[in-house]
Amino acid sequence: MLSAKHISTVKSTIPLLESAGTAITEHFYKRMFKHNPELKHIFNLSHQHSGGQPAALFNAVAAYAKNIDNLGALSGAVERIAHKHTSFNIQPEHYPIVGHHLLETLRELAPDAFTPDVEEAWAAAYGVLAGIFIDREATLYHRNENAVGGWKGARQFEVIAKTKESELVTSFTLAPIDQQAVIDFEAGQYLGVSVAPINHDYQEIRQYSLSDKPNGKQYRISVKKEALGVPGVVSNYLHDHVNIGDKIDVYPPAGDFHYEEREAPVVLISAGVGVTPMQSMLEMLASKSFAKPVFYLHGCESVEQHSFNRRVEQLGLQLNLQHHTWYRDIANVDEAVNAANIHQGFMNLAALKDSLPLTDGDYYLCGPVAFMQFAKQQLLELGVSDARIHYEVFGPHSDL
């Protein structure tokens, strides 16, 4: 329980935090990995190189300080982060390590401001936050372990199919080697997978969206091959070295972004590999013979990079489906087949305003952050309620 003094003291440090910015979290990660290099087997190191993880952590710390007297405002962030933590198999014993390095970071970067009162207040505040995460994650772990087909920790799966979906995206179908059932998931969630890339010092854990409907027997993830380098170490390893018959450690499905069952039209909006959770939702809706209108709106570079396009055509026969695609490069597109559904350039939702369910539809977005910001702004300008717009950010979270 935080005292009024603790709350007041933490809030007094907000200007210091904001003036330091991501220097705090960059220093924190360097310090933690230096003293606890074993954590490199858990954390996504590519996000350290990109700067995404330090920025996301700084935003989370600053938001906690600002809302420390109103933690209910952070419930959405807590749920999102707790799900991500379970896909990394974060355990209670990791929290004291993080707390220690956070306090030492504040001491080292602001020795004059880090008085005994400030240290006591932040230690107490961190303890409360850690307790919230530990409790929520314990609930998620218990649910995953005790559900039909559930398990705890890593479980070995075998690649039973490897399918090239487009120029850059390949799907991997995974079945448990124990041949037992697997836990169902919500369409839109992701799977945590752990691999040991060739000539790489650490295990790497990544989260990839599930791209098919749940069936209780196996999972399918669809992975974009990124440019070769630190950010692409795992995707390149999967594409180039993991084949049918190979084994992968898998953590139970997770994620707070998923289809929410309602009797309302559904609009799925994606760009690039952001199509993967949308494909899962579309497969699920088709399997349930969803009667309401469904809109499947996708943007990508070219027809060569368009994943699942033929499958969408097939599913359209089972649904009240309208689908539109925007290509940057329209070469090699057979416009004669779907002339009314093919567009060039940036996604223009205003052109569909007469057919979109602006007042009662549920909108799901996934793709690069800039694309989702662009799409969300269009939806808001068309009168769609912010509460009906749901989105997923791959990697460290960012608000639109």
Binding residues for FAD: 190, 206-209, 393-396
State which amino acid sits at residue 29: Y
Q: Which amino acids are annotated as binding site for heme b, given as ranges?
A: 85
Supply 173's token pair.
Answer: 């179908």
**Closest C-alpha among 20, 87, 96, 84 to residue 58:** 20
Q: Which amino acids are annotated as binding site for NADP(+), given as ranges?
A: 272-277
29, 64, 95, 363: the active-site residue? 95
Q: What is the distance between the alpha carbons of residues 278 and 269, in angstroms, rounded to a whole number?
A: 8
Supply 314's token pair.
Answer: 């097939």
- Scanning the chain, the segments in alpha helix (DSSP H) are 4-12, 14-20, 23-35, 45-50, 52-66, 75-87, 94-109, 116-146, 233-241, 275-287, 309-315, 369-381
Confirm whether 108 is a catalytic residue: no
Q: What is the distance between the alpha carbons of residues 334 and 350, in angstroms, rounded to a whole number?
A: 24
Do residues 272 and 367 lie in contact, with contact meaning Cβ atoms separated by under 8 Å? yes
Q: What is the distance between the alpha carbons of residues 174 and 158, in angstroms, rounded to a whole number?
A: 5
Describe the crossing of helices 4-12 and 52-66 by its angle, rounded to 10 degrees: 130
Which residues are CB-neighbours of 16 under 8 A, at least 6 positions away? 110, 113
26, 29, 126, 137: the active-site residue? 137
Do residues 181 and 216 lie in contact, with contact meaning Cβ atoms separated by under 8 Å? yes
Helix (H) or strand (E) holding 267: strand 266-271
Q: Which amino acids are annotated as binding site, given as ranges?
A: 85, 190, 206-209, 272-277, 393-396
Do residues 358 and 381 lie in contact, with contact meaning Cβ atoms separated by under 8 Å? no
Q: Using the 8-state DSSP alphabet, how is residue 210 labeled?
A: B
Report CA 334 to chain centroid distance, whole Å: 33
Helix (H) or strand (E) holding 392: strand 389-392
Q: Using the 8-state DSSP alphabet, how is residue 71 labeled?
A: G
Confirm whether 95 is a catalytic residue: yes
Catalytic residue set:
95, 137
